[in-house]
Structure 1
Amino acid sequence: MAGGLKLGILCSTAATIATLFLLQAPLKDAHEDYREPQSTFSEPQPSTCSDRNSSLTDRDFAEVDFPWYTITPTQELIWHACYPSFQCARLSVPLNYSEPRGRQAAIALIRKPSLFPERSRFYKGPVLFNPGGPGGSGVPLILKLGSAFSTVLGPEFDIVSFDPRGIGRSPPRADFFDTDVERALFLASVSSADIGIPRLWAQAHLLGKLAAQHDDGFLEHINTANTATDMLTIARAHGREKLQYWGFSYGSVLGATYAAMYPDNIERLVIDGVMDSEDYYATGWLTNLVDTEKTLSAFFEGCVDAGPDRCPFYAPEPEDIRRNLTSLFDQLRKVPIPFQNSTEYGIVDYVTLRSAVFSSLYTPYTAFLPLAQALKQLAAGDVSALVSFLGGPYTPYKCSCGAHAHEFDVVRDANSALVCNDGDEVPPSLSESMEYVQELEKVSEWADVWSFNRLQCVGWPKNKKEFRGPFVGNTSHPILVVGNTADPVTPLRSAKKMAEGFKGAVVLTQDSPGHCSVNAPSICTQRYIRQYFQDGTLPPPDTVCQPISKNPFPRIPGSPDQAPFDVDEDEMPFLDAVFELSEKFRPALFPLGGTLLGFNGL
Structure 2
Amino acid sequence: MPQPAALLRTVTALATAGLLLAGCSGARPAGSPAGHGLPSSDGRAAAAPAPVPLQPLPTEVPAALAGYYRQPLSWQPCDNGFQCAGFKVPLDYDHPASGDLTLGAVRRPADGAGGQQRLGSLLLNPGGPGGSAVEYVEAVAGGYQPVVRAAYDLVGVDPRGVGRSSPVNCLSGDRMDAYTAVATTPRDQGGIDRLVAADREFAAGCQARSGPVLGHVSTVEAARDMDVLRALLGDQRLNYVGKSYGTLLGATYAGLFPSRVGRMVLDGAMDPSMDAVTGNRTQAAGFETAWAAFVKDCQTRSDCPLGSTEQQAGQHLDALIGSVGRQPLPGLGTRQLTESQAVTGVLEAMYAEFLWPQLRTALAAAQNGDGGPLLRLSDSYYERSADGSYPNLMFANMAVNCLDLPPAFSTPDQVTAALPQFRQASPHFGTDMAWMALSCAYWPIRATGVPHTVRAAGAAPIVVVGTTRDPATPYAWAQALAGQLESGHLVTYDGDGHTAYGRHNDCVDSAVNHYLVEDQLPAAGLRCAK
Q: Displacement, 1:284?
A: 5.3
CA contact (8 A) 1:246 1:271 kept: yes
Q: Name the CA distance, whole Å, in 2 between partners of 1:103 and 1:346.
A: 43
Give the alignment partner of residue 294 of structure 1, picking from 280, 289, 296. Answer: 289
Q: Which amino acid aligns with 1:451?
A: A
CA contact (8 A) 1:425 1:462 kept: no
Q: Name the CA distance, whole Å, in 2 between partners of 1:208 and 1:16.
A: 28
Higher mean Cα deviation, 415-424 or 430-439? Answer: 430-439
CA contact (8 A) 2:125 2:246 kept: yes
User: Which structure has the highest strand share of the two?
Assistant: 2
Q: Name the CA distance, whole Å, in 1 between partners of 2:518 and 2:316.
A: 50
How many residues get paired?
470
TM-score normalised over the length of structure 1: 0.70
Q: Name the CA distance, whole Å, in 1 between partners of 2:180 and 2:277.
A: 28
Q: Which amino acid aligns with 1:111?
A: R
Distance 1:465 1:323, change over 3 A: closer
Whether 2:326 is the aligned partner of 1:338: answer: no
1:104-163 deviation per Cα after TM superposition (whole angstroms, max 9, x unaligned)? 11111111211149xx98001111111111111112211211122242624111111121
**Correspondence list, 1:251-400, <5 A:** 251-279=246-274, 285-305=280-300, 307-308=301-302, 311-313=303-305, 315-339=307-331, 344-364=333-353, 366-391=354-379
Distance 1:475 1:176, change over 3 A: same
Give the alignment partner of residue 174 of structure 1, picking from 137, 146, 168. Answer: 168
Distance 1:462 1:378, change over 3 A: closer
**Correspondence list, 1:115-514, <5 A:** 115-116=111-112, 122-151=117-146, 153-171=148-166, 173-177=167-171, 179-181=172-174, 183-184=175-176, 187-188=179-180, 190-193=182-185, 196-214=191-209, 216-279=211-274, 285-305=280-300, 307-308=301-302, 311-313=303-305, 315-339=307-331, 344-364=333-353, 366-391=354-379, 405=389, 408=391, 410-424=392-406, 428-445=410-427, 446-451=429-434, 454-463=437-446, 465=448, 469-514=452-497
CA contact (8 A) 1:116 1:156 kept: yes
Q: Displacement, 1:9?
A: 6.2
Distance 1:288 1:392, change over 3 A: closer
Q: Name the CA distance, whole Å, in 2 between partners of 1:387 and 1:377.
A: 11
Q: Name the CA distance, whole Å, in 2 between partners of 1:380 and 1:212.
A: 42
1:16-48 deviation per Cα after TM superposition (whole angstroms, max 9, x unaligned)? 9999xxxxxxxxxxxxxxxxxxxxxxxxxxxxx
RMSD, matched Cα:
3.4
Q: Name the CA distance, whole Å, in 1 between partners of 2:449 and 2:122.
A: 26
Q: Name the CA distance, whole Å, in 2 between partners of 1:324 and 1:316.
A: 11
1:278-297 deviation per Cα after TM superposition (whole angstroms, max 9, x unaligned)? 22678953332232222111
CA contact (8 A) 2:274 2:451 kept: no
User: Over alpha carbons, which structure has the higher Rg?
Assistant: 1
Q: Which runs of 5 or more structure 1 residues have no equivalent in the other structure?
A: 3-7, 20-73, 548-602
1:207-229 deviation per Cα after TM superposition (whole angstroms, max 9, x unaligned)? 44444444643322111000001
CA contact (8 A) 2:89 2:100 kept: yes
Counterpart in the other structure of 1:525: 508
Q: Which amino acid aligns with 1:542?
A: G
Distance 1:283 1:416, change over 3 A: farther
Counterpart in the other structure of 1:92: 88
Distance 1:542 1:422, change over 3 A: same
CA contact (8 A) 2:467 2:474 kept: yes
Give the alignment partner of residue 79 of structure 1, picking from 71, 75, 78. Answer: 75
Whether 2:94 is the aligned partner of 1:112: answer: no
CA contact (8 A) 1:283 1:423 kept: no
CA contact (8 A) 1:154 1:530 kept: no
Distance 1:275 1:476, change over 3 A: closer
Q: Which amino acid aligns with 2:359?
A: L
**Correspondence list, 1:57-76, <5 A:** 75-76=71-72
Q: Name the CA distance, whole Å, in 2 between partners of 1:397 and 1:513.
A: 28
Q: Which amino acid aligns with 2:123?
A: L
Q: Name the CA distance, whole Å, in 2 between partners of 1:346 and 1:17.
A: 27
Q: Name the CA distance, whole Å, in 2 between partners of 1:462 and 1:339.
A: 36
CA contact (8 A) 1:127 1:244 kept: yes
Give the alignment partner of residue 520 of structure 2, picking from 518, 526, 537. Answer: 537
Whether 2:11 is the aligned partner of 1:13: answer: yes
Q: Which amino acid aligns with 2:83?
A: Q
Q: Name the CA distance, whole Å, in 2 between partners of 1:355 and 1:234.
A: 36
Higher mean Cα deviation, 375-384 or 271-280? Answer: 375-384
CA contact (8 A) 2:107 2:155 kept: yes
TM-score normalised over the length of structure 2: 0.79
Q: Displacement, 1:102?
A: 3.8
**Correspondence list, 1:29-48, <5 A:** none
Distance 1:476 1:229, change over 3 A: same
Higher mean Cα deviation, 212-221 or 162-171? Answer: 212-221
CA contact (8 A) 2:402 2:447 kept: no
SS at match of 2:330: strand
Q: Which amino acid aligns with 2:507?
A: C
CA contact (8 A) 1:205 1:458 kept: no
Q: Which runs of 5 or more structure 2 residues have no equivalent in the other structure?
A: 18-69
Q: Which amino acid aligns with 1:414?
A: A
Q: Name the CA distance, whole Å, in 1 between partners of 2:94 and 2:498.
A: 37
User: Which structure has the highest helix share of the two?
Assistant: 2
Q: Displacement, 1:248?
A: 0.9
CA contact (8 A) 1:361 1:488 kept: yes
1:143-195 deviation per Cα after TM superposition (whole angstroms, max 9, x unaligned)? 21112224262411111112110111111x32235x554x4366256442357
Q: Name the CA distance, whole Å, in 1 between partners of 2:275 and 2:79.
A: 35
Q: Displacement, 1:335?
A: 4.3
Distance 1:485 1:464, change over 3 A: closer
Q: Name the CA distance, whole Å, in 1 between partners of 2:424 and 2:133.
A: 35
SS at match of 2:259: coil
Q: Which amino acid aligns with 2:402?
A: C
Give the alignment partner of residue 103 of structure 1, picking from 99, 113, 116. Answer: 99
Distance 1:18 1:298, change over 3 A: closer
Q: Which amino acid aligns with 2:272?
A: S
SS at match of 1:482: strand
Distance 1:289 1:389, change over 3 A: closer
Counterpart in the other structure of 2:43: none
CA contact (8 A) 2:7 2:472 kept: no
